[in-house]
Structure 1
Amino acid sequence: MTRSPDSGQVPADEPPGSERYVDQVTAGPGGVMTYEVGVITGDLTVSPTWDDDGRTARAAIQYTGADEWYTLSQSPAPIAPEGLAAYHRDILGRIRRGDAAWST
Protein backbone atom coordinates (compact mmCIF):
# COMPACT_ATOMS: atom_id res chain seq x y z
CA MET A 1 0.00 0.00 0.00
CA THR A 2 2.10 3.08 -0.68
CA ARG A 3 -0.32 5.73 0.45
CA SER A 4 -0.12 8.65 2.80
CA PRO A 5 -3.05 9.12 5.19
CA ASP A 6 -4.24 12.61 5.99
CA SER A 7 -2.73 13.94 9.18
CA GLY A 8 -4.38 15.71 12.05
CA GLN A 9 -7.64 15.19 13.81
CA VAL A 10 -10.88 16.74 12.63
CA PRO A 11 -13.45 18.17 15.05
CA ALA A 12 -15.90 15.78 16.72
CA ASP A 13 -18.85 17.19 14.73
CA GLU A 14 -17.40 15.91 11.45
CA PRO A 15 -18.76 12.64 10.00
CA PRO A 16 -17.00 9.40 11.07
CA GLY A 17 -15.22 9.04 7.72
CA SER A 18 -13.40 12.33 8.35
CA GLU A 19 -11.61 11.30 11.54
CA ARG A 20 -7.83 11.15 11.27
CA TYR A 21 -5.34 10.20 13.94
CA VAL A 22 -1.57 10.13 13.43
CA ASP A 23 0.92 9.26 16.18
CA GLN A 24 4.53 8.23 16.51
CA VAL A 25 5.32 5.16 18.57
CA THR A 26 8.31 2.88 19.20
CA ALA A 27 7.59 -0.78 18.54
CA GLY A 28 8.22 -3.17 21.39
CA PRO A 29 10.35 -6.32 21.09
CA GLY A 30 9.30 -8.34 18.05
CA GLY A 31 7.96 -5.31 16.17
CA VAL A 32 4.78 -5.04 14.15
CA MET A 33 3.49 -7.29 11.36
CA THR A 34 2.57 -5.75 8.00
CA TYR A 35 1.12 -7.34 4.87
CA GLU A 36 3.65 -5.84 2.50
CA VAL A 37 7.04 -6.37 4.17
CA GLY A 38 6.44 -8.57 7.22
CA VAL A 39 7.74 -7.38 10.59
CA ILE A 40 8.94 -3.81 11.03
CA THR A 41 10.59 -2.43 14.16
CA GLY A 42 11.83 0.81 15.66
CA ASP A 43 10.28 4.27 15.52
CA LEU A 44 7.01 4.14 13.60
CA THR A 45 4.14 6.40 12.63
CA VAL A 46 0.63 4.94 12.66
CA SER A 47 -2.62 6.30 11.22
CA PRO A 48 -5.93 4.43 11.20
CA THR A 49 -8.62 5.56 8.76
CA TRP A 50 -12.22 4.53 8.22
CA ASP A 51 -13.02 2.25 5.30
CA ASP A 52 -15.79 3.29 2.92
CA ASP A 53 -18.28 0.96 4.64
CA GLY A 54 -18.16 3.09 7.82
CA ARG A 55 -17.88 -0.04 10.00
CA THR A 56 -14.25 -1.04 9.56
CA ALA A 57 -10.93 0.78 9.63
CA ARG A 58 -7.52 0.23 8.09
CA ALA A 59 -4.29 0.94 9.97
CA ALA A 60 -1.47 2.46 7.92
CA ILE A 61 2.03 2.33 9.40
CA GLN A 62 5.43 3.56 8.31
CA TYR A 63 8.94 4.02 9.58
CA THR A 64 8.86 7.55 11.00
CA GLY A 65 10.16 9.94 8.35
CA ALA A 66 9.88 7.43 5.49
CA ASP A 67 7.75 7.83 2.37
CA GLU A 68 6.26 4.33 2.17
CA TRP A 69 3.16 3.37 4.12
CA TYR A 70 2.25 -0.26 4.89
CA THR A 71 -0.91 -1.95 6.09
CA LEU A 72 -0.91 -3.37 9.62
CA SER A 73 -1.77 -7.08 9.45
CA GLN A 74 -5.38 -8.07 10.15
CA SER A 75 -6.49 -4.70 8.85
CA PRO A 76 -9.18 -3.69 8.03
CA ALA A 77 -10.75 -4.43 11.40
CA PRO A 78 -14.30 -3.93 12.68
CA ILE A 79 -14.64 -0.82 14.83
CA ALA A 80 -16.43 -1.01 18.18
CA PRO A 81 -19.02 1.60 19.18
CA GLU A 82 -16.25 3.52 20.97
CA GLY A 83 -15.05 4.55 17.50
CA LEU A 84 -11.82 5.22 15.68
CA ALA A 85 -10.13 6.97 18.63
CA ALA A 86 -10.44 3.81 20.75
CA TYR A 87 -9.13 1.67 17.88
CA HIS A 88 -6.18 4.04 17.49
CA ARG A 89 -5.34 3.83 21.22
CA ASP A 90 -5.56 0.04 21.08
CA ILE A 91 -3.21 -0.13 18.08
CA LEU A 92 -0.68 2.12 19.84
CA GLY A 93 -0.73 -0.20 22.87
CA ARG A 94 -0.26 -3.29 20.70
CA ILE A 95 2.68 -1.70 18.89
CA ARG A 96 4.35 -0.69 22.17
CA ARG A 97 4.04 -4.29 23.39
CA GLY A 98 5.52 -5.67 20.16
CA ASP A 99 5.51 -9.45 19.59
CA ALA A 100 4.72 -8.93 15.88
CA ALA A 101 1.57 -6.99 16.81
CA TRP A 102 -1.37 -6.73 14.42
CA SER A 103 -4.48 -4.58 14.27
CA THR A 104 -7.16 -6.70 15.99
Structure 2
Amino acid sequence: MTAPEEKTEPSPEPSKTTDIVPGPGGVMTDEVGVVTGDLTLRTELVGGDVVLRVQYKEAEEWYAVTGGKAPLADPSGLDTVHTIAVGLLNRPEG
Protein backbone atom coordinates (compact mmCIF):
# COMPACT_ATOMS: atom_id res chain seq x y z
CA MET A 1 0.00 0.00 0.00
CA THR A 2 1.37 3.41 -0.92
CA ALA A 3 0.98 6.67 0.96
CA PRO A 4 -1.53 9.14 -0.44
CA GLU A 5 -0.15 11.77 -2.78
CA GLU A 6 0.75 15.00 -1.06
CA LYS A 7 -1.13 17.82 -2.71
CA THR A 8 0.44 21.21 -2.24
CA GLU A 9 -1.56 24.29 -3.07
CA PRO A 10 0.32 27.30 -4.44
CA SER A 11 0.87 30.13 -2.01
CA PRO A 12 -0.87 33.52 -2.25
CA GLU A 13 2.58 35.13 -2.65
CA PRO A 14 3.55 36.86 -5.94
CA SER A 15 3.75 34.42 -8.83
CA LYS A 16 3.83 33.98 -12.61
CA THR A 17 2.25 31.14 -14.60
CA THR A 18 2.72 29.93 -18.18
CA ASP A 19 1.42 26.88 -20.01
CA ILE A 20 4.26 24.67 -21.25
CA VAL A 21 4.87 21.40 -23.06
CA PRO A 22 8.08 19.76 -21.82
CA GLY A 23 10.31 17.78 -24.12
CA PRO A 24 10.94 14.04 -23.96
CA GLY A 25 11.51 13.02 -20.35
CA GLY A 26 9.02 15.56 -18.99
CA VAL A 27 9.55 17.47 -15.74
CA MET A 28 10.74 15.70 -12.57
CA THR A 29 8.68 16.47 -9.46
CA ASP A 30 9.25 15.70 -5.80
CA GLU A 31 5.79 14.26 -5.20
CA VAL A 32 4.96 12.09 -8.22
CA GLY A 33 8.14 11.76 -10.29
CA VAL A 34 8.03 12.70 -13.96
CA VAL A 35 5.06 14.57 -15.42
CA THR A 36 4.55 14.96 -19.16
CA GLY A 37 2.09 16.48 -21.60
CA ASP A 38 0.35 19.83 -21.36
CA LEU A 39 1.43 21.47 -18.10
CA THR A 40 1.22 24.81 -16.34
CA LEU A 41 4.43 26.13 -14.79
CA ARG A 42 4.12 28.40 -11.76
CA THR A 43 7.09 30.40 -10.44
CA GLU A 44 6.27 31.77 -7.01
CA LEU A 45 7.94 33.75 -4.28
CA VAL A 46 7.69 32.02 -0.90
CA GLY A 47 9.38 34.00 1.83
CA GLY A 48 12.80 34.74 0.34
CA ASP A 49 12.81 31.75 -2.02
CA VAL A 50 11.69 31.29 -5.58
CA VAL A 51 9.84 27.99 -6.04
CA LEU A 52 8.88 26.25 -9.28
CA ARG A 53 5.73 24.11 -9.40
CA VAL A 54 3.90 22.36 -12.22
CA GLN A 55 0.43 20.97 -12.67
CA TYR A 56 -1.32 19.12 -15.43
CA LYS A 57 -3.08 21.88 -17.38
CA GLU A 58 -6.35 22.82 -15.67
CA ALA A 59 -5.85 20.31 -12.81
CA GLU A 60 -6.01 21.29 -9.15
CA GLU A 61 -2.87 19.59 -7.82
CA TRP A 62 0.49 21.36 -7.95
CA TYR A 63 3.82 19.54 -7.70
CA ALA A 64 7.22 20.94 -6.71
CA VAL A 65 9.77 20.77 -9.52
CA THR A 66 12.74 18.77 -8.27
CA GLY A 67 15.61 21.19 -7.66
CA GLY A 68 13.28 24.10 -8.38
CA LYS A 69 13.82 26.11 -5.19
CA ALA A 70 16.48 28.75 -4.53
CA PRO A 71 16.98 31.93 -2.54
CA LEU A 72 15.96 35.07 -4.40
CA ALA A 73 17.70 38.16 -3.00
CA ASP A 74 15.54 40.64 -4.93
CA PRO A 75 11.83 39.88 -5.42
CA SER A 76 11.85 41.96 -8.61
CA GLY A 77 13.81 39.08 -10.18
CA LEU A 78 10.75 36.78 -10.14
CA ASP A 79 9.80 37.62 -13.74
CA THR A 80 13.34 36.92 -14.95
CA VAL A 81 13.53 33.58 -13.13
CA HIS A 82 10.14 32.61 -14.60
CA THR A 83 11.25 33.53 -18.12
CA ILE A 84 14.39 31.40 -17.73
CA ALA A 85 12.41 28.45 -16.29
CA VAL A 86 9.95 28.59 -19.21
CA GLY A 87 12.87 28.71 -21.64
CA LEU A 88 14.42 25.63 -20.07
CA LEU A 89 11.29 23.51 -19.58
CA ASN A 90 9.08 24.42 -22.56
CA ARG A 91 10.18 22.17 -25.42
CA PRO A 92 7.07 21.53 -27.57
CA GLU A 93 9.27 20.50 -30.51
CA GLY A 94 11.14 17.95 -28.39
> Into which bin does the TM-score normalised by the smaller protein fall?
0.7 to 0.9
Q: Which has the higher strand share?
A: 2
Q: Does the 8 A contact of 1:79 with 1:87 survive in 2? A: no
Match of 2:33 in 1: 38
Q: Does the 8 A contact of 1:51 with 1:76 survive in 2? A: no
Match of 2:58 in 1: 65
Correspondence for 2:10 among 5, 9, 15: 5
How many Å separate the matches in 2 of 1:80 and 1:63?
30
How many Å separate the matches in 2 of 1:80 and 1:42?
33
Extract unaligned runs of 5+ from structure 1: 8-17, 99-104
How many Å separate the matches in 2 of 1:19 and 1:50?
6
1:59 aligns to what SS in structure 2? strand
Shift of 1:97: 4.0
TM-score calculated relative to the size of structure 2: 0.76
How many Å separate the matches in 2 of 1:66 and 1:40?
13
TM-score calculated relative to the size of structure 1: 0.70
How many Å separate the matches in 2 of 1:40 and 1:57?
21
Shift of 1:78: 2.9
Runs of 4+ that moved beyond 6 A: none
Extract unaligned runs of 5+ from structure 2: 1-5
Identity among equivalent positions (%) equals 37
CA RMSD of aligned residues (A): 2.3
Q: Does the 8 A contact of 2:21 with 2:91 survive in 1? A: no
Q: Does the 8 A contact of 2:11 with 2:46 survive in 1? A: no
For 1:72, give the aligned amino acid. V
